[in-house]
Amino acid sequence: MSENEQLEFKSLGLSENILESLKNLGYKKPTPIQSKSIPIALMGRDVLGCAQTGTGKTASFVLPIVDILNSQKSKARMPRSLILSPTRELADQISEYFKKIAKYHKLVVSLLIGGTQLGDQDKELNKGVDVLIATPGRLIDHINRGNILLNDLKILVIDEADRMLDMGFIPDIEFICSKLPKIRQTLFFSATLSKEIVKIGKKFVINPKLIEVSPPSSTSNTISQKLVKCNNKNKLSLLEEVLFSLDTQNTVIFCNRKKDIDILSKNLIRKKFQTITFHGDLVQSKRNEALNNFKNASNKILIASDVAGRGLDVNNISHVINYDVPNNPEDYIHRIGRTGRAGKKGVAITFFSKDDLKSIGEIENLINSKIDVLDLNTKKKSEIIDDYNFNTINESDHVPNFLKR
Ligand code: AMP
Q: Are residues 57 and 192 in the same domain?
A: yes
Q: Are residues 208 and 306 in the same domain?
A: no
What's the CA-to-centroid distance between 57 and ligand 1, angstroms? 7
Q: What is the pLDDT of residue 321?
A: 96
Q: Which residues of 381-392 are buried (b: 16+ CB within 10 A; e: fewer)?
A: eeebbeebebee
Of the residues 212, 244, 269, which one is the last residue of a structural domain? 212
Q: Which range among 142-151, 207-216, 390-399 shows the weakest confidence by mean pLDDT?
A: 390-399
Q: Are residues 319 and 374 in the same domain?
A: yes
Query: What's the number of domains the chain is made of?
Result: 2
Mean pLDDT within 71-89: 87
Closest residue to atom 17 of ligand 1, CA basis: 56
Lateral strand order in the sheet of 47-50:
109-112, 131-134, 81-84, 155-158, 185-190, 47-50, 209-212
pLDDT digits (tens, 9 = 90+) for 323-362: 999 998 888 988 998 888 766 788 999 999 999 999 999 9
Closest residue to atom 23 of ligand 1, CA basis: 56
Question: Residues enclosing ligand 1, CB less than 6 A?
Answer: 27, 30-31, 34, 53-59, 313, 342
What's the CA-to-centroid distance between 58 and ligand 1, angstroms? 7
CA of 53, closest atom in ligand 1: 2
What's the CA-to-centroid distance between 352 and ligand 1, angstroms? 32
Q: Are residues 180 and 242 in the same domain?
A: no
- Give 220's contacts (C-beta < 8 A, 6+ positions apart): 54, 337, 340, 341, 346
Q: Are residues 51 and 121 in the same domain?
A: yes
Domain membership of residue 369 (yes or no) is yes
Q: What is the DSSP letter of 230?
A: -
Owning domain of residue 271: 223-404
Domain membership of residue 218 (yes or no) is no
User: Hey, how many other C-beta atoms are within 10 angstroms of the C-beta on 206?
Assistant: 12
What's the CA-to-centroid distance between 339 and ligand 1, angstroms? 13
Q: What is the pLDDT of residue 123?
A: 86
Domain membership of residue 217 (yes or no) is no
Mean pLDDT within 304-327: 86
Q: What is the pLDDT of residue 377?
A: 55
What's the CA-to-centroid distance between 278 and ligand 1, angstroms? 24
Of the residues 185, 212, 239, which one is the last residue of a structural domain? 212
- Residue 109: name the closest of 124, 79, 129, 128 by CA: 129
Closest residue to atom 20 of ligand 1, CA basis: 27
Domain membership of residue 159 (yes or no) is yes
CATH of the domain at 236: 3.40.50.300
Cα 337 to Cα 53: distance, rounded to the nearest angstrom? 8
Closest residue to atom 19 of ligand 1, CA basis: 30
CA of 29, closest atom in ligand 1: 19
Pocket test for ligand 1, best of 1, 6, 8, 25 (most atoms within 8 A of CB): 25
Give the percent of the chain with pLDDT over 90.
54
Q: Are residues 208 and 230 in the same domain?
A: no
Q: Which residues of 187-202 are buried (b: 16+ CB within 10 A; e: fewer)?
A: bbbbbbbeeebbebbe
Q: Diameter of the chain by CA atoms? A: 68
pLDDT band at residue 153 under the 50/70/90 scheme: very high
Of the residues 157, 184, 212, which one is the last residue of a structural domain? 212
Closest residue to atom 11 of ligand 1, CA basis: 56
Q: Are residues 163 and 252 in the same domain?
A: no
pLDDT digits (tens, 9 = 90+) for 214-260: 654 566 678 889 999 999 899 999 999 888 877 777 899 999 999 99
Residue 155 near residue 69, CB atoms below 8 Å: yes
Pocket test for ligand 1, best of 21, 27, 190, 214 (most atoms within 8 A of CB): 27
Higher pLDDT pick, 22 / 288? 22
Mean pLDDT within 54-62: 90
Which of 72-81, 104-113, 279-288 is predicted most confidently? 104-113
Pocket test for ligand 1, best of 31, 90, 101, 341 (most atoms within 8 A of CB): 31
User: Hey, how many other C-beta atoms are within 10 angstroms of the C-beta on 15?
Assistant: 16
What's the CA-to-centroid distance between 84 and ligand 1, angstroms? 19
Q: What is the pLDDT of residue 97?
A: 92
What's the CA-to-centroid distance between 30 and ligand 1, angstroms? 9
pLDDT band at residue 389 under the 50/70/90 scheme: very low
Q: Are residues 229 and 174 in the same domain?
A: no
Closest residue to atom 6 of ligand 1, CA basis: 54
Instruction: For 157-209, give the secondary structure using H, E and C.
Output: EECCHHHHHHCCCHHHHHHHHHCCCCCCEEEEEECCCCHHHHHHHHHHCCCCE
Q: Are residues 185 and 309 in the same domain?
A: no
CA of 27, closest atom in ligand 1: 20
Q: Are residues 196 and 344 in the same domain?
A: no
pTM as predicted: 0.70
Closest residue to atom 18 of ligand 1, CA basis: 27
Domain membership of residue 147 (yes or no) is yes
Q: Are residues 94 and 154 in the same domain?
A: yes
Amino acid in the structure at residue 112: L
Q: Are residues 131 and 164 in the same domain?
A: yes
Closest residue to atom 16 of ligand 1, CA basis: 56
